[in-house]
Amino acid sequence: MSHYTAPELSPAAIRQGFWRLLPISLFVAVFGAAFGLAAVQAGLPGHEIVLMSATVFAGTAQFAALELWGAEVPLLPLLATTFAINARMLLMGATLYPWMALLPAGRRYGSLVILSDANWAMNLNDLQNGRNNLGALVGGGLALWLTWLAGTILGMVFGSAITDPKALGVDMVMGCFMLSMVLAGRRTSRTVMAWVVGGAAAYAAWLWLPENSHVVVGALAGGLIGALWLEDKA
């Protein structure tokens, strides 16, 4: 019998998740501003820029789409590029499956609409440590989505003032946050091996494979360890 139980989703948990993720979301706003500026420079009209950020909500994929944008958009390369960049979502969803599968379909898929790296990492850590609710996933996702959208709009209007986001050090915030989630999570020989193999594979792909492929390669390598080294249910 499964030892998983259906996670709760209450208004109080959503509010708590929103405020927990809001500090990290400020970093997202800066890169949303960078995207807004880049989209304006690429010639996209304002309403299309806002619509893209509101519906796609995937920063790296949106930047990649701008690289291919023009008078005639190459649809198949655009689809392939965005799918490759966001393929990690398949594995992120798989890690949440044991809990999400116990929910009604509407609540399950509705909770995943605003899935991103930060709220996934925090909520998975919560679930693995006995905090059986989706507050960080939904509330934190709302915080990330709103600040990404607000940042996009600010970038469209004031983005020229941000000449180099890396000079402010904000490019390190998400990496440090994800590392803290890894270190705070449940540590076993299995998970440590997955981290090591996934990290080594991602680094090798970053050195020798096409741009952005390290995200997919690292995720697949770590996921392969998890698939071959099954967890002891006893």
pLDDT of residue 1: 41
CB 82 within 8 A of CB 60: no
pTM of the predicted protein model: 0.75
Pure H helices in the chain = 11-41, 46-55, 59-68, 75-86, 88-100, 105-111, 117-128, 135-158, 173-184, 189-208, 213-228
pLDDT of residue 35: 86
pLDDT of residue 169: 59
pLDDT of residue 234: 44
pLDDT of residue 98: 92
d(C-alpha 134, C-alpha 108), whole Å: 10
Exposure b/e, 72-90, CB count within 10 A at least 16 = b? eeeeeebeebbebbbebbe
The residue written with tokens 């008078």 in the block is 71
The token pair that represents 128 in the structure block: 């693995």
The residue written with tokens 């599968």 in the block is 101
Sign, CA torsion 132/137/142/143:
positive
Picking from 213, 211, 216, 214, the residue whose alpha carbon sits closest to that of residue 203 is 214
* pLDDT tens, the chain, 234 aa long: 457 899 999 999 999 999 999 988 888 888 888 888 888 888 889 999 999 999 999 887 888 788 777 767 777 878 877 887 787 788 889 889 999 999 999 999 999 999 998 899 899 999 988 899 999 999 999 999 999 999 999 989 886 666 665 565 555 655 665 566 566 566 778 888 888 998 899 899 889 987 767 777 887 888 788 778 776 654
d(C-alpha 103, C-alpha 95), whole Å: 15
pLDDT of residue 43: 85
The residue written with tokens 């709103």 in the block is 146
Picking from 164, 156, 141, the residue whose alpha carbon sits closest to that of residue 52 is 156
pLDDT of residue 160: 61
